[in-house]
Amino acid sequence: MTAVNVVPNIGATTLVIVTSADDALTYSARPQSLMLSFLGLHVLGRDSAAYSGSIIDVFGRIEISEEAVRSTLSRMVHRGLLTRHRRGRRVYFGLTEHAEQVLEDGERRIWDTGAVNRDWDGTWTLVAFSLPDTRRSDRHDLRSQLIWAGFGLLQNGLWIAPGAQDVTAIVDELGLNDNVTAFTAQQSKPTESADLVRKAFDLDAIAARYRAFLTRWDSPDPLPSAPDDLARQLVLHTDWLQLVRQDPHLPADLLDADWPAIRAETLFRHLAHHYHATTADLAERTIDQIEL
């Protein structure tokens, strides 16, 4: 049996993960999500740059070709995410300030925000907008940014997210200050908060993604085709970050008691700490880095 998960990458690239019966892994030719995970795990916070050959070595463990790695690195340099540093015949890649911000946001999503909102104060942020067909591109960009920020479509032109959300940066970036209305509120009878969640968010799809994560990782031997824990660690963090980036961080009080995100988050944290311990020496030996 083969399952296919399609998850959004940073930017326009899509990462496709295919898990087959023998757990062979197939990734798209543009694995930027994996590269961001690698950089977050092994470069962020070190004030260093990693040797391209070392990156190729690590990615080869999950069957990503050298050509794909080099292409991804070049695109990330072009997009202002990475800098090149030459030492003799070797080329090393370090983080730009923008890349550090992206990776730090990922760290917050993983360790601070988490998969479930346990501190919800009962408020909702609502965003309403109206754009003509002549601004279809702006409308698409705004919708995409709202989804990325955890909003769901309650009804035509009205988006909602739990808690107080600051959408100023989104609106400013798109130049839509005159077209967007944002406010916070609480529901009142006859509306129930649980009804808002069911109407605005596809709970079945969200739960299915977490169940797929549990199917892959809740095993005595997860990813048996991976050669070592360095490979498993990279795929684990990529899988989880894609999940929490798609998750609207819904209030726990409004979800079923057996909501799969809760068990998935516990499993991720256990495995992440385990792989951090088991890969420390291997990563040190495998990844050549220079101080910047």
- Last residue in a domain, options 185, 207, 232: 185
- Confidence check: pLDDT of 14 > 90: no
Residues 111, 131, single domain; the answer is no
pTM: 0.84
Give the structural domain span for 175.
124-185
Asked whether residue 96 falls in the same domain as residue 238, the answer is: yes
Q: Any idea what the Cα angle at residue 276 is, between residues 210 and 98, rounded to 5°?
A: 75
4: CATH:
1.10.10.10
Average confidence (pLDDT) over 244-266: 91
Same-domain status, 2 and 145 = no
Task: With cut-offs at 50, 70 and 90, classify the pLDDT of residue 10.
Answer: very low
What is the DSSP secondary-structure string of 230-249?
HHHHHHHHHHHHHHHHH---
The answer to whether residue 190 sits within a structural domain is: no
Instruction: Judge if 177 and 93 occupy the same domain.
Output: no
What sections of 5-153 are H helices per DSSP? 32-42, 52-60, 66-78, 97-107, 136-148
Residue 133: predicted pLDDT = 85
The CATH number given to whatever domain includes residue 153 is: 3.30.70.2360
The 10s digit of each residue's pLDDT in 59-90 is 999 999 999 999 999 999 999 999 999 999 99
Strand partners, 83: 94
Q: How many residues does the chain have?
A: 292
Number of domains composing the chain: 2
Query: Which 3 state secondary structure label does DSSP give 289?
Result: strand
DSSP conformation letters of 176-214: -TTTEEEEEE---TT--HHHHHHHHS-HHHHHHHHHHHH
Do residues 95 and 207 both lie within one domain?
yes
- The domain boundary, picked from 185, 205, 228, lies at 185
Same domain as 175, residue 30 = no
* 84 and 214 assigned to the same domain: yes
Q: How far apart are CA 150 and CA 113, in angstroms?
A: 12
Say yes or no: 141 and 34 in one domain: no
| Residue 78 β-bridge partners | none
Does residue 240 lie within any of the structural domains?
A: yes
Q: Same domain for 223 and 286? A: yes
Q: Phi and psi of 213, rounded to 5°?
A: -60, -45
Same domain, residue pair 131 and 23:
no
pLDDT (mean) for 204-228: 94
Structural domain includes residue 269: yes
Question: Is a pLDDT exceeding 50 seen at residue 292?
Answer: yes
Q: How confident is the model at residue 257 (pLDDT cuts 50, 70, 90)?
A: confident
Q: Higher-confidence residue: 15 or 63?
A: 63
Same domain for 179 and 128? yes
100 plus 211 within the same structural domain: yes
Decide if 235 is inside a domain: yes
Is beta strand 124-129 parallel, antiparallel or unpaired with respect to 180-185? antiparallel
- Other C-beta atoms lying within 10 Å of the C-beta of residue 130: 11
How would you classify the pairing of strands 90-95 and 124-129?
unpaired
